Structure 1
Amino acid sequence: MNPILKYLKNVFTAKRVFGDNSTLTRLVKADALLQDMYEKNKFPGLAITVLKEGETIFQKGFGYADIAQKQFRDPRKSIFRIASVSKPIAATALAYMVQEGILDLDESFYAYLPDYPKKEWDFTIRQLASHTAGIRVYKGKEYGLNEPFSIKEGLGVFKNEPLVFEPDTEYLYNSFDWVMISAVMQEVSGIPFEEYVQERVLNPLGMQHTFCPKCHPERSRKVDGVKVKEITEIEGSGNVATFYSKCLAGFRKAIPVDNFYKLAGGGYLSTSEDIAKFGQAYLDNRIKVEAEFLDHFLTSQEVNEKPTCYGLGWQVSEDAKGRKFYGHVGNGVGGYANFFVYPEEQLVFSILINCTDPKIQEELDAVIDCFFNMPIT
C-alpha cells in the first residue's frame, strides 16, 4: 500500500479536511515524530487529539495501554490519569460559583472554612487558585500517597504547616491549593465537589469518559453521605490504562496511589478526545460564564509587577515562538498530559501518556509545532 494511503487509513479522525500538500506533509511529520518516539521507547502508550476550528485533524494512539497484554491505545476510549489537567476542569466549576455569587475570589479562605488552622497571614481563594497563597509543595512520599482520604481528610496532610511566604509576595505551584479550594466548593454548594463538577461541567459538555479515580478499597463508598461517582473498571482492564514509571529496563508498573482527595488538583481520569472537547468548548463559548468572570481565570496573575504565566487554575502564557495559549501540563504517578488551547489559531491539543514524567516535553513541543500554519478548506 502507498505509505501516504496507509497513513491516512491508520489515523483516526472524525473528519479529514486537508488543505494543500504542505498540510499533509506536516501531518505526516507529526505522525513520524510520535512513531519514532515510541520506537525509541520514550513512552509505553500515548493518545493524541488535535482540533482545528472545531474539526478533528489528527487523532491517533501510539504504543500500548497495557504492555503485557499488547493492548493498543485508542484516543477515543483509552482512559489515562490526566494529573494537573484536572485543575482547568475544577477552575471551570469554580468560575460558575463565582458568577453565581456563591463564592467570592477575594474573600478570606477562613470565611468558608473557619476551623482550618490559623496562619501568620490571611489568604484568599484567588491567592490559592493562582498559587500565591504560600501553601507548601509535596514533601517526601506525599506525591504518591495511597491513603483512603476524603477531600476534607486530605487537608490533614498539610494543614498544620506554616505558610512558606506572605501571600502575594511569591508564586509557588502546588496541588494542595486546589485541595483547599475543592473543600470550600463543597462546603458552600452543599454537595460533594465531584458531583458539582459532574453536574456543571462534565455532563453539559458531553465529557462522558472523564471520571473520578476508583475509590480506595478501605474507604467507604460514600463521601459526605453521597455515593461517589467513580470509574468502575480497574487498571489494565477494559479501557483503563495500566500506569507505568520509567526504569533502566524500560517501564515498570507505577506504585499504587489514591488521588481522590486531590481530585481538583490532579485526580481526574479521561481520554484525549474528552480533554480536546473540553478545550473546544472554550473556543466555542459553550462555557456559560460571562467574560467579566472568566477573564479572571484566563489572565496571568502578577507578583511584584511580574507575570507568573498562571491564571486561576490555568497556565496562561506564550510558547517558544510567541504564540499565546492557555491550558495545562500534568504530571502524576503513572500519567503525563499536555492540554493547550491556542485561541488565535483556533487549535486545541490533547496528549495523554500512561507514564510518570517521561522527560519528552521538547519532543512533544516539536510535534505540536507541526500543526501551525495549516490551511483548512
Structure 2
Amino acid sequence: MVRRITALISYFLLGYSLVAQEYDQAIAKARFLIQEHQKQTNIPGLQVAVMIDGEMIWSESMGYADLENAVPVTSKTQFRTASLAKPLTSIALGNLLEDNLISLDNTVEDFLPDYPAPAKEITVRQLAGSISGIRHYNDADPKFRTKNYKTVQEAVTIFRDDPLDFEPGTEYGYSSYGWVLLSALMEKAAGVSFEKIMNDSWDQLGIENTSFDSPNHDSEDISKFYIKGRKRRELAPFQNRSFMYAGGGYLSTSEDLVRIGHQFINFDFLKKSTVDTLTKSLHLKNGALTYYGLGWELGSSKIDTEVWHHNGSMPTARTHWLLLPEQKIVLAYMSNTGEHVFFNDAEAHAIAQIFLDAKRAKAGVNINSEYLTREWTGKVTSLYGKSKKAKLTLESTKNGLVIGEIAFKRSRKREVYPVVVKSSTKDSLHLIAVTPMFADFHLRIDSNDNLEGEWQHDFVRKPNEDEDEFWKQRKASFRKIQD
C-alpha cells in the first residue's frame, strides 16, 4: 500500500495542481464532520460560514429553524449569538475609543457617580477584560428570565448591590454581567442609547441580519430555539434577553459574523492600533497574563498561527467565531440549541485547521483512489487507560474523501464512530473521529501497511493552565486485515 500511495503522491505533485481543488476538499471534510456531529447530538439546525481573503469560500445551512413545521435553516436565519455578543460589543467599544468618547482608564464612577463602592473604582479595561470582580451568573439566577428590562441601566440593578468576587485586577473571572455594566458606561459616554450605539456599528459594517434579541423584534427569519428533551429536542421556554444584551443578547448569522470578522482583521472598520488594543492579553496586578483581551479569547490552540476567537454557550445556542488574522481566515458556526452539544473550541478549531491547511497546501495529498479502502483490527487505549479492542474501516468516496468508521467497546457497549482522513503522507495518516467530540488519530504507516500512533481529544488551552492527564495522548495501533 505504501508504494502505491507514494506513486500516487508523485503523480499529483508532478502532474496536477491542487489549487483549484483545495477548498472543495476542505469543505467536504468540514461538512462531513459537522453533519456527523449534528446527527449524534440531535442539533435541529445550524449554519457555518468561512471567508478567506475576503471571499466567501463556504456558507451552508443545515437542518431546521423550526422542527415542528419543517422550516429549513437559510443563510438569513438568525440565531442567538450567546457570548459572541462580547466581541461584537468590543468592536463598538473600539469605535468609541477612536472617537475619544471613552477611555479604557475611565472608571465606573466617571459615568455612574452613585454606583456603590468598591465597584465604582472599576475601569472600562477591567470590565471588558473580565478582571473586574463583577460576578457572572450563579445558581440564584433563573435559567430562563422573562422580565423585560427597558434600559441597560435597569438591567444593571440585577447585580448592582452584590459584593465583588475579588479585588479588581487581581484575578481573571469571566463575567457577562461585567459587560452589562460596560454597556451602561458606553451609553453615558456616547450620550445615546446602547441600542443606537450597536445599530450604528452594524450599519457602518454594512451587515443586515444582526440585531438585538429583544422581545419586540419580529422577523420571519428568527430561528426557534431548542433544549434537550427526554427523547428529542424540545422547544425552549420563552426567554427575555434584555438583561444581557452586551454580554449575550444579540441575534446574527454566520455570514454576518465572517463579514464583520474580515473587516476587523483587515482594519477596514477600526484602525490597526485599536484592533491591537482589543486583542492584546491583559495583565493582572501580579504580572500574570490572562490570555483574554477586551472581549477576545487569545489562548493557545492546535492551530500553529495567531488566532482570535470566542465561543457562546447557553441552553438555546452554541456558537463559535474564529479569526486567523495572519492567514485572513474567518470562520463562524451557529446552532439553535446548546445543551449536550459538545461542539467545543477544539472542534471549531479543527474545522478552521482544515481550511488553514488547504490554504497552506500542507494537508498532504487528498487521495482520490481505492488504495486506502481496507480494514484493520487493533487496540486503542481509553481515556481511563484501559486497552480496548478496535476495528478501523476506510474507503474512498466518489468526491475524493476517504471516510470510514472506528468501532470499539465503550462503557460495555460496542460503539461505532464515523471517521474522515484529514490528511495523509506516504507514511502517515491523520484521522478525525466524531465521538461526538472530535478525536484526532495520528498514525504512522509501516512497511506492512499496519498503523500505529496516538489519539486524543485536542482541547484548546490557555498557556497558563495546568495539563490535565485525562486529556493527554493515548495509544492506538491497528494491524491490516489481509486481502
Could you say whether these structures have the same fold, taking a TM-score greater than 0.5 normalized by the shorter chain as the test? yes
TM-superposed deviation, 1:295 = 1.9
> Deviation at 1:284?
2.6
Larger radius of gyration: 2
Deviation at 1:279, TM superposition (A): 0.2
Query: SS of the residue aligned with 2:50?
Result: strand
Could you say what secondary structure the match of 2:205 adopts? Answer: coil
Q: Deviations over 1:97-135 (max 9, x none)?
A: 122221111122111111112227821111111010111
Is 1:80 equivalent to 2:62 in the alignment? no
Distance (Å, rounded) in 2 between the aligned partners of 1:202 and 1:107: 25
Alpha-carbon deviation of 1:20? 4.5
Q: Which amino acid aligns with 1:332?
A: M
Unaligned 5+ segments in structure 1 are 1-17, 216-229
Q: How many residues align?
A: 339
Q: Which runs of 5+ in 2 are unaligned?
A: 1-17, 362-483
Q: What is the CA deviation profile of residues 335-370 of structure 1, one whole-angstrom value per residue up to 9, with x for unaligned ones?
A: 111001101111000100001242222444433322
Q: 1:37 to 1:87 in 2, by over 3 A?
A: same
Q: Secondary structure of the equivalent of 1:352? A: strand
For 2:90, the equivalent position in structure 1 comes to: 91
Matched residue type, 1:179: V
Hey, what does 2:236 align to over in structure 1?
Answer: 254
Give the Cα–Cα distance (whole angstroms) in 2 for the partners of residues 136 and 332 of structure 1. Answer: 17
Q: Which has the higher strand share?
A: 2
Answer yes or no: is 1:360 the counterpart of 2:346: no
CA contact (8 A) 2:136 2:178 kept: no
> 1:296: Cα distance to partner?
1.8
Structure-1 residue corresponding to 2:99 = 100
| Partner-residue secondary structure (3-state), 2:155 | helix
CA distance in 2 between counterparts of 1:71 and 1:162 reads: 46
Displacement of 1:21 in angstroms is 4.1
CA shift for structure 1 position 332: 2.6
In structure 2, the residue matched to 1:124 is: 123
Alignment partner, residue 358 of structure 2: 374
Whether contact under 8 Å (2:76, 2:253) holds in the other structure is yes
Distance 1:210 1:77 in 2: 10
**Could you give the per-residue CA deviations for residues 192-243 of structure 1, whole angstroms, max 9, x where no partner exists?**
10111211x100111111111233xxxxxxxxxxxxxx6322xxxx211010
Q: 1:250 to 1:367 in 2, by over 3 A?
A: farther
- The CA distance in 1 between the partners of 2:230 and 2:347, in whole Å, is 20
What per-residue deviation string (whole Å, max 9, x for no partner) do you get for residues 18-60 of structure 1?
Answer: 8244543222111111221223244111100001111111111
Is 1:334 paired with 2:336?
Answer: no
**Amino acid corresponding to residue 212 of structure 1 in structure 2:** F
Tell me: CA distance 1:143–1:291, structure 2 relative to 1, closer, same or farther (3 Å). Answer: farther
Residue 372 of structure 1 aligns to which amino acid in structure 2? L
The farther-off stretch of 310-319 and 265-274 is: 310-319
Secondary structure of the 2:121 match is: coil
- Relative to structure 2, which stretch is displaced further, 345-354 or 242-251? 242-251
Give me the whole-angstrom Cα distance separating, in 2, the residues matched to 1:179 and 1:54.
Answer: 32
Kindly state the Cα deviation for residue 274 of structure 1 after the two structures are TM-superposed.
0.6
Determine the structure 1 residue equivalent to 2:302: 320
Question: How far apart are the structure 2 equivalents of 1:270 and 1:121?
Answer: 33
Q: Secondary structure at the match of 2:212?
A: coil
Cα distance in 2, alignment partners of residues 205 and 293 from structure 1: 16
Could you say what secondary structure the match of 2:37 adopts? helix
CA contact (8 A) 1:243 1:335 kept: yes
- Change in CA separation of 1:20 and 1:78 when aligned onto 2, cut-off 3 Å: same
1:308-345 per-residue CA deviation (whole Å, 9 max, x = no partner) reads 12101111233223332113101134111100110111
**Does structure 1 residue 299 correspond to structure 2 residue 280?**
yes
Normalising by structure 2, report the TM-score.
0.67
Amino acid at match of 1:94: L
The percent of aligned pairs where both chains have the same amino acid is: 29
Residue in structure 2 matched with residue 3 of structure 1 by the alignment = none
TM-score by length of 1: 0.85
Secondary structure at 2:358 match in 1: coil
Question: What is the root-mean-square deviation of aligned Cα atoms in Å?
Answer: 2.0
Tell me, yes or no, if the aligned pair for 1:47 and 1:62 is still in contact at 8 Å.
yes
Greater RCO, CA 8 A, separation 6+: 1
Contact 2:108–2:120 (CA under 8 A) maintained in structure 1 = no
Residues 260, 283 of structure 1: alpha-carbon distance in 2 compared, 3 angstrom cutoff: same
Deviation per residue, 1:242-275 (Å, 9 max, x gap): 1011233121112221112321111010111111
In the alignment, does 2:264 pair up with 1:282? yes
Tell me, yes or no, if the aligned pair for 1:83 and 1:331 is still in contact at 8 Å.
Answer: yes
SS in 2 for 1:144: coil
With over 3 angstroms needed to count, the CA separation of the structure-2 counterparts of 1:92 and 1:143, relative to structure 1, is farther
